[in-house]
Amino acid sequence: MQICVLGAGLAGVTAAHALRRDGHDVTVIDRATAPAQETSFANAGLISPGHAFSWAAPGAPIALLKSLFDRQQALRIKPRPDPALLRWGWRFMRNCRAEPWARNSLELMRLASYAQRVLEAIVDETGVEFAHTGGGLIYLYATDAALAQAISTLTLLREAQIDAHVLTPEAVVRLEPALRQRATAIAGAIHCPSDASGDAHRFTVGLAEWCRAQGVRFCFNETVSGWTVSGERITAITTDQGEHRADAFVLALGSASPLLARKLGLYLPIYPVRGNSVSFPIHANHTPPILAGVDDGTLTAWSRLGNVLRLTTTAEFSGYANRQPPKDVDMLVARARALFPNGADFSQPSAWSGLRPMTPEGLPLVGQAGPRNLWLNTGHGAMGWTTAAGTARILADLLAGRAVEHPYLPPRLR
């Protein structure tokens, strides 16, 4: 079958890999100049089934309300007249109750664990190198109350068969000596030993090169502008470079997916949520962390990716505006210095921001939708690096009409 994949980020390239393995003739189209130039470019680098909680949590509405007055909060909303945000937000709020939060989180954890196994199989098959670091991730909590709340979620992790351990501040330092300066400021931590970290951009670029060697075609610098539909099927997509015909089409454009789907009269419950990162060079005289993790109090993630230390934070609902204000860069630099005083060269920050394609439930959209030959692999939110390999395999199973290896229930479209 001839299949056209729209998008060359993590979701698109992993889909291309899974579909090519099934023997399909695959073409990937992207508006950028190379793979993984947008949301997959400089994310946190965390592969974190042990932290795969839905953002639609009981405390989220209050946190968003507080952000109207405290712009230093990581989870925040920028007030603006936006019907798309109102529609999305109403559904998000309905999922902030305890029962749907637990259900969505468990679904996401199980998907994340499956995806991690698929990712490991892809690496074994292709040999792609991406600064992978095992040994688990560390989730820090500043107060006894926050730690107790985290411990209460361990029942969900156990149900998802994810191993997790509670650490004292002293145990945190033994596991990650680079956090020694932080030990007096935390109540404890959760360590998930099967979690990992790695450079999502390097992985995507490397996998794209492997796919190209297997016959997958990549068309860069092409912006998709519309569809040609005949009856119940799409016959072609139109770009600024011409037309591409195929038997099936996979929509994997991240936050741009609902904009293109709208031209088919198809509503996708995806809204862009901006995230920020700052990367710092590591030199021989520095003592960076080995293990990655998250400071839960500030929702700041860190990871060492080769000779780079990266910190990420912020989840801002501000539409498609994708610019990191200087004050956000300064905030991340200050947090990096506080966490790891000798971790990297903090005088040379490299700032980036990207738009996470979030669904209200926090679960990606995978499967057929709208026209009979349109398939979705999008809406991965903040968990794209953690879940993309799994949703790509699920997509390939569904498209082939075979039993899926991992049963997954995506959110409804309406």
Q: Look at the pTM and tell me if it is higher than 0.95.
A: yes
Q: What average pLDDT does range 317-332 have in this prediction?
A: 92
Domain span holding position 179: 46-199+271-358
Strand bridging mode 350-358 / 271-281: antiparallel
pLDDT digits over 338-380, tens only?
999 999 999 999 999 999 999 999 999 999 999 999 999 999 9
Is the same domain home to 186 and 235?
A: no
CATH number of 165's domain:
3.30.9.10
- Amino acid 66: pLDDT: 84
Is the same domain home to 69 and 57?
A: yes
Is the same domain home to 53 and 174?
A: yes
Is the same domain home to 108 and 227?
A: no
Q: Which positions ≥6 away from 99 have C-beta within 8 Å?
A: none
CB 395 within 8 A of CB 250: yes
3-class DSSP assignment, residue 219:
strand
Cα separation values, 400 from 3, 252, 356, 368, Å: 12, 18, 29, 12
CB 308 within 8 A of CB 279: yes
- Amino acid 40: pLDDT: 97
CATH number of 385's domain:
3.50.50.60
Is the same domain home to 180 and 323?
A: yes
Q: What average pLDDT does range 289-314 have in this prediction?
A: 96
Is the same domain home to 11 and 90?
A: no
Is the same domain home to 375 and 345?
A: no
Inside any domain, residue 408: no
- Number of structural domains found in the chain: 2
- Amino acid 204: pLDDT: 99
- Amino acid 96: pLDDT: 98
The pair of structure tokens assigned to 405 is 């290896």
Scored b (16 or more CB within 10 A) or e, 168-185 reads: ebeebbebbebbeebeee
- Amino acid 414: pLDDT: 64
Is the same domain home to 256 and 297?
A: no
Inside any domain, residue 406: no
Q: What average pLDDT does range 120-140 have in this prediction?
A: 98
Q: Determine which of 21-30, 247-256, 268-277, 313-322 has the lowest per-residue pLDDT on average.
A: 313-322
Q: Which of 162, 123, 116, 132 has the alpha carbon at shortest distance from 386?
A: 116
Angle separating helix axes 384-400 and 10-21, nearest 10 degrees: 30
pLDDT digits over 176-192, tens only?
999 998 899 999 999 99
Return mean pLDDT, the chain: 96
pLDDT digits over 20-45, tens only?
999 999 999 999 999 999 999 999 99
Inside any domain, residue 302: yes
Q: Return the bridge partners of 166, or none.
A: 190
Give the integer Cα–Cα distance in Å for 112 and 118.
Answer: 10
Is the same domain home to 117 and 218?
A: no
133: confidence class by pLDDT, cuts 50, 70, 90: very high
Is the same domain home to 345 and 214?
A: no
3-class DSSP assignment, residue 103:
helix
The pair of structure tokens assigned to 268 is 């996708």
Q: What average pLDDT does range 126-149 have in this prediction?
A: 98
pLDDT digits over 195-247, tens only?
999 999 999 999 999 999 999 999 999 999 999 999 999 999 999 999 999 99
Q: Return the bridge partners of 356, or none.
A: 273
Is the same domain home to 352 and 369?
A: no
Scored b (16 or more CB within 10 A) or e, 312-338 reads: bbbbbbbbeebebeeebbebbbebbee
